[in-house]
Structure 1
Amino acid sequence: MATIHDVAKRAGVSVTTVSRVLNNRGYISQKTRQIVYDTMEELNYQPNDLARSLLSKQSNVIGLIIPNVSHPFFAEFAYAVEQYAYEQGCKLLLCNSQLDPVKEREYLKMMKGNQVNGIIMGSHTLDTESYLNLNYPIVTVDRLITGFPYVASDNELGGRLAAELLISKGCRKLVHICGNQSLDMLSNLRTAGFLSAAKKAGIETVILETKMNVFDREEYEYLITTMFADHPDLDGVFATSDIIAGHVISKCRQLGKTVPGQIKIVGYDDISLASWFSPGITTIKQPIEDMGRMAVNLIQQQMSSGPIVHENILPVELIERETT
């Protein structure tokens, strides 16, 4: 198997020159660059990415830890991160924590061992000290950790827009199904915005929190069944995700309740599935693609020691469909 020394010798250049061509660093004439490329092809030379990362202290790999890759929001976010990272010459190391702190800690160790350029944290099971001790460029998603930049949608505005729409449609008893408020997440601001708008209008509200595992379908089923049993007079639901909104639609069908006739529903995220449901889900659109792009940019800005904006709150948009 050919080595970088074999390429340098055959091409008549130094090992440093071959390395610069491989890493696209420093000035190399187009003629020399082409000679090196032709020689690598002739010798069937395959660069050793691990060795290069150990030498340069960079791997051109960005780590992404998310709680559940099967959840459509995180799937679409991961897709956006990978696509933009690839355009910037980076690869993506995707880790699925499943809200398991042991698993998340193991992934952090693995990323450190592989010299990743930085880590995008979309999970939230470990204490902040676990991140502060990493000494790596880190970006958090929907979570505030002092010292690290974060990316989030305007959660408070999203909650307010959802409540205002339901109220404007004539709803007089609103239920908000949200994540567990004991988790220190910026998404909790959706609840704050919702409650603020409802209180201003003098509308009765009920808050239903999921358990710590916010992606449990059986938990959704139990919570929504209990919701209709305990509050038969509810007429508006704001769900903290489109997936939960979809479960509400399904339960309405089982109970013979019409949507939007008897029950009006607003979701959050605007995942692709939101428009495929029947009826289509009215939702608060998060700019998922822009969030992914910004997360990658923030990693690169930290690597270059450039100026960094720590609070990155992107605008949301109300997308009205058939559930309201």
Structure 2
Amino acid sequence: MATIKDVSKLAGVSVATVSRVLNRSGYVHTDTEQKVLHAIKALNYTPNFVARSLSNKKTSTIGLLVPDITNPFFPELARAVEDVMQLYGYTVILCNSDESASKEKHYIDVLKQKYIDGMIVASNALSVEDVREFDMPVVVVDRLIEGDTIPTVMSDNRKGAQMATEFLLGQGCRKIAHIRGPEHLLNAEERCQGYLDVVQDIDWFDRSLIVSGKYEMKRAMEATLELLRTHPDVDGIFAGNDMMAIGAMRAVQVLGRTIPYEIEIVGYDGIALSEIVFPELTTIAQPIYDMGALAARMLIKQIEKQPLDSLHYCLDVQMVERGTTRKG
């Protein structure tokens, strides 16, 4: 059975540092904390004093509220949250809201009755007033609820969209369309704005090149079919998430056009499914696991009344080139 000394050796830190991470006491740099957590997981180490370190909790249970569990982004996010929470002795209750404010409020009422210690929210159907009424520690991830007092973890959506659109231009695409997410979601708006930053002053651009896919595969397929009938000369598509990109791929194939030689497609998220489709999807990859893990650590610090290093995190994204864009 692994000991705390084994953890300190694998992580390359002192036993005292491991103890500070486990007890959430004193300052530990984020990178060091991650090394310790990875070592704990690798060694399957279970500290026998976790219960004491969390003794100020009522239930050691938190809620995770997601909008659409069928979108692979959210199970990947949930896995990270659960991994970190489990290390610290917490149980996670997963709630799927279908982006319904009434359903979310129902879940919240039920969770409050169970005396959960905090909540991670990955939905934008709630207002800032709704979140403040939780009367418990909260972290918002992959969404931004208006106001600057609620801790958030996001990726750089606008920069990622700019990268995707500039990449398609660099590939020689002469008319690039955008399949955007829901109008009410800030991350969808930021990705659309990133696209506009690059193309709005080009002579071929007009607003009809932006169509709505609602972050859904089927809706994106339907929108792409109509788009390509209206603009048959479109040769590049930036989709606001990978699910919509996969829907766009299907539409292009239905119309008998080839990917990537006639139309190149870039998605956004970097979900595992993007590596399974054919051709494999070029995408702007978010650090999904890191986002979930960071949100979990921020929530634990709030629950244990430890100061946060920052209220807001905006993580970098990266371009992952695959088969839906031409090589070289």
Which position in structure 2 is the counterpart of 1:158?
A: 160
Gaps of 5+ in 1: 1-20, 27-52
Which position in structure 2 is the counterpart of 1:136?
A: 136
Matched, 1:145 2:172: no
The CA RMSD over aligned residues, in Å, is 2.1
Q: Which SS does the other structure have where 1:233 is aligned?
A: coil
1:145 deviates by: 3.4
Which position in structure 2 is the counterpart of 1:25?
A: 52
Which position in structure 1 is the counterpart of 2:13?
A: none
Equivalence map 1:268-287=2 (5 Å): 268-287=268-287
Which position in structure 2 is the counterpart of 1:95?
A: 95
Q: Which SS does the other structure have where 2:52 is aligned?
A: coil
Q: Percent identity?
A: 33
Judged with a 3 Å threshold, the aligned counterparts in structure 2 of structure 1 residues 159 and 22 are, in CA distance, closer, same or farther, namely: closer
Distance across 2 between alignment mates of 1:281 and 1:173? 19
Distance across 2 between alignment mates of 1:237 and 1:265? 5
Report the AA paired with residue 153 of structure 2: V
Distance across 1 between alignment mates of 2:292 and 2:60? 17
Which position in structure 1 is the counterpart of 2:75?
A: 75
Q: Which SS does the other structure have where 1:139 is aligned?
A: strand
1:22 deviates by: 8.6
Judged with a 3 Å threshold, the aligned counterparts in structure 2 of structure 1 residues 254 and 137 are, in CA distance, closer, same or farther, namely: same
Match of 1:172 among 171, 174, 180: 174
Gaps of 5+ in 2: 1-47
Query: More deviation in 270-279 or 296-305?
Result: 296-305
Q: Which SS does the other structure have where 2:228 is aligned?
A: helix
Judged with a 3 Å threshold, the aligned counterparts in structure 2 of structure 1 residues 249 and 193 are, in CA distance, closer, same or farther, namely: same
Query: Contact conserved, 1:160 with 1:196, CA < 8 A, in 2?
Result: yes
Distance across 2 between alignment mates of 1:63 and 1:291? 16
Q: Which SS does the other structure have where 1:204 is aligned?
A: coil
Which position in structure 2 is the counterpart of 1:209?
A: 212
Matched, 1:302 2:305: no
Which position in structure 2 is the counterpart of 1:311?
A: 312
Query: Contact conserved, 1:121 with 1:138, CA < 8 A, in 2?
Result: yes
Paired positions, count = 273
Distance across 2 between alignment mates of 1:164 and 1:323? 15
Judged with a 3 Å threshold, the aligned counterparts in structure 2 of structure 1 residues 304 and 261 are, in CA distance, closer, same or farther, namely: same
Distance across 2 between alignment mates of 1:149 and 1:263? 40
Judged with a 3 Å threshold, the aligned counterparts in structure 2 of structure 1 residues 90 and 107 are, in CA distance, closer, same or farther, namely: same
1:82 deviates by: 1.1
Which position in structure 1 is the counterpart of 2:22?
A: none
Query: More deviation in 257-266 or 115-124?
Result: 115-124
Distance across 1 between alignment mates of 2:160 and 2:203? 19
Which position in structure 1 is the counterpart of 2:290?
A: 290
1:203 deviates by: 5.6
Which position in structure 1 is the counterpart of 2:126?
A: 126
Judged with a 3 Å threshold, the aligned counterparts in structure 2 of structure 1 residues 259 and 216 are, in CA distance, closer, same or farther, namely: closer
Q: Which SS does the other structure have where 1:307 is aligned?
A: coil
Distance across 1 between alignment mates of 2:52 and 2:91? 18
1:109 deviates by: 0.9
Distance across 2 between alignment mates of 1:194 and 1:80? 30
1:117 deviates by: 1.7
Which position in structure 2 is the counterpart of 1:258?
A: 258
Query: Contact conserved, 2:119 with 2:138, CA < 8 A, in 1?
Result: yes
Judged with a 3 Å threshold, the aligned counterparts in structure 2 of structure 1 residues 168 and 318 are, in CA distance, closer, same or farther, namely: same
Q: Which SS does the other structure have where 1:208 is aligned?
A: strand
Query: Contact conserved, 2:68 with 2:98, CA < 8 A, in 1?
Result: yes
Report the AA paired with residue 143 of structure 1: L
Query: Contact conserved, 1:67 with 1:99, CA < 8 A, in 2?
Result: yes
1:223-250 residue CA offsets vs partner (Å, 9 max, x unmatched): 1211111111101000011111111111
Report the AA paired with residue 220 of structure 1: A
Report the AA paired with residue 52 of structure 2: R
Quick check: which has more Rg, 1 or 2? 1
Distance across 2 between alignment mates of 1:117 and 1:184? 27
Report the AA paired with residue 191 of structure 1: C
